[in-house]
Structure 1
């Protein structure tokens, strides 16, 4: 069996043979708000890193706010000397970048698996949850679905404009589920799908959603939860790039229009034992009920993860299939936790609450923590919406309340790590306060 270094070195050398035009590779990782950070490496230096040379980036790059600034969080950022932390290359993620003006490559990096992983790095948080589940004999299979909007490339005084229909050159301003919209926007959508596949992402179903210029992409089911979250993160990056190349702006913003549906991140999760048996389907689906109860119990405490910014909270309630209470149901898209119809082998939950711009590593970690807690606590869930349309428990609908609910929840601190919870909550609190430090025109209209 090849050593880890030998495998990486072979991957880099094969890439160089197949793409001799590529001189630089972007080494990238996702920060807490869900933005990529990293460095652009000459391809020959990447080969040295693959062979074992150190790869270090500032530890505090993970802590950046939504606008890229640093916040004082405990002793981090301003009282720790801004230390470097080791990263490693993620095997299998070195791929060509086709949407830039020059030939490039990109490759994921992470602190997960290094001698001193960063406790609050999103990929590391998910890795620890998955490792704990595997030790318990629980093996998740995961699939993401992402909704997004296409806008015109140019903004109008900072506001988005409807995408232009390529056939008529009119604004695509009518909400519709018609499949003809897939044909009208086929050139950019096909390029998005093919580009994602070139990144190693298994694109399956493409849907025209209800909002004008809104679409949904489904990914294949994966036994590797880390790779499933990698796919979601990388798809957002490539899709934005491809859209710009075609004269559009692609956005995963949760609620770009008040009058139209928001964009969500739906996550399908099933759980199997080492022999491949579906754990949720055992004992007349009693474990499914326990898992649902655990998800719903922790859901109100995970809202800063599922709705990671001010705009994301606008998505909740008042529009199609966006819940305002922690609820569940069979084949019910109004529920936060939906149980799709399936045979026992494929029985799964579909978690529908997260916004499309949430961090996929953290969303999956929070969902799995809820499932794990439910299987341990073995509590019965509240009534499904199928039996009681008013069923559900309240969850926070604004950021500061949500942060307070998250920070001191003991089960969540145990499952995701107390250091991560403290850092994440302070990051979200500071981001929210920074967002409020600007007076908008509406305030002058109302109060001047």
Structure 2
């Protein structure tokens, strides 16, 4: 068996042979708000890193706010000397970038698996949750679904404009689910799909959603939770790049239009034991009920993860299939936790609450923590919506309330890590307060 460095070195050398035109590779990782940061490396230097040379980036790059600024969080950022932290290359993620004007490559990097992982790095948080489940003999299989909007490339006084239908050159301002919309926007959608596949992402179904210029992409079920989250993160990056190449903007913003549906991140999760048996289907599906109860119990305390910004809270209780209470149901898209109809082998939950711009590593970590908590406590869930349309428990619908509900919840701190919870909550609190430090035109109209 090859050593990790030998495997990486072979990957880099193969890439160089197949793409001799590429001179630089972006080494990228996801920060807390869900943006990529990193460095652009000459490809020959990447070969040295693959062979074992150190790869260091500032630890506090993970703590960047939504606009890229640093907040004082405990001793981080301003009282710690801004130290470097080791990163490593993620095998299998070195791919060509086709949406830039010049030949380029990209590769994921992470602190997980290094001697001193960054406790609050999103990928490391998910790694710890998955390792704990694996030690218990539980192996998740995961599939993400992401909704997004296309807009015209040009903004109108800072506001998004409907995309132009390539066939008629009229704006696509009619909300519908018609299959013809896939044909009319086929050039950009096909390029998005092919680019994603070139990145190693297993995408499956493409759907025209209800909002004007809104679409959904489904990913294949993956037995590696980290890879499933990698796919979701990388798809967002490539899709935005491809859209710009075709004269559009692509955005995963949770609620770009008040009058139209928001964009969600739906996550399908099934759990298997070491023998390949579906854990949720055992004992007349009693573990499924326990898992649902655990998800619903932690959901109100994970809202800053599922709705990571001011705009994401606007999506809740929206026009279509966006709940305002923690609920569940069989084949019910109004529920936060939906149980799709399936055979026992494929029995799973579909967690539907997260917004499309949430951090996929953290969303999956929070969902798995809820499932784990439910299997441990073996509580019965509240009534499903199929039995009681008013069933559900309240959750915060404001960021500051959500942060308070998350920060001191003992189970969340235990499952996701106390250091991560403290850092994440303060990051969200500071981001929210910074967002409020601007007087809008509406405020002048109302109060001047």
TM-score with structure 2 length normalisation?
Answer: 1.00
Partners of 2:361 and 2:318 lie apart in 1 by: 28
Partners of 1:43 and 1:201 lie apart in 2 by: 23
Partners of 2:235 and 2:21 lie apart in 1 by: 23
Partners of 2:15 and 2:75 lie apart in 1 by: 41
SS for the counterpart of 1:109 is strand
CA shift for structure 1 position 7: 0.1
Q: What per-residue deviation string (whole Å, max 9, x for no partner) do you get for residues 262-292 of structure 1?
A: 0000000000000000000000000000000
Aligned counterparts, 1:356-435, within 5 A: 356-435=356-435
Aligned to 2:170: 170
Partners of 1:100 and 1:255 lie apart in 2 by: 28
CA shift for structure 1 position 319: 1.2
CA shift for structure 1 position 298: 0.2
SS for the counterpart of 2:218 is strand
CA shift for structure 1 position 203: 0.8
Partners of 2:166 and 2:425 lie apart in 1 by: 43
4+ residue stretches of structure 1 with deviation over 3 A? none
Partners of 1:113 and 1:195 lie apart in 2 by: 28
Partners of 1:55 and 1:161 lie apart in 2 by: 42
**Would the aligned equivalents of 2:150 and 2:248 in 1 still touch at CA under 8 Å?**
yes
SS for the counterpart of 2:255 is coil
Aligned to 2:443: 443
Partners of 1:227 and 1:38 lie apart in 2 by: 19
Does residue 261 of the first structure (1) align with residue 264 of the second (2)?
A: no
SS for the counterpart of 1:405 is helix
Superposition RMSD on alpha carbons, in Å?
0.2
SS for the counterpart of 1:196 is helix
CA shift for structure 1 position 105: 0.1
**Would the aligned equivalents of 2:280 and 2:286 in 1 still touch at CA under 8 Å?**
yes
Question: What stretches of structure 2 of length at least 5 have no aligned partner?
Answer: none
Partners of 1:216 and 1:5 lie apart in 2 by: 37
Aligned counterparts, 1:13-32, within 5 A: 13-32=13-32
**Would the aligned equivalents of 2:262 and 2:318 in 1 still touch at CA under 8 Å?**
no
Higher mean Cα deviation, 186-195 or 318-327? 318-327
Q: What per-residue deviation string (whole Å, max 9, x for no partner) do you get for residues 354-406 of structure 1?
A: 00000000000000000000000000000000000000000000000000000
TM-score with structure 1 length normalisation?
Answer: 1.00
Partners of 2:265 and 2:408 lie apart in 1 by: 26
Q: What per-residue deviation string (whole Å, max 9, x for no partner) do you get for residues 336-365 of structure 1?
A: 000000000000000000000000000000
CA shift for structure 1 position 318: 3.2
Question: What stretches of structure 1 of length at least 5 have no aligned partner?
Answer: none
Partners of 2:283 and 2:86 lie apart in 1 by: 45
SS for the counterpart of 2:289 is helix
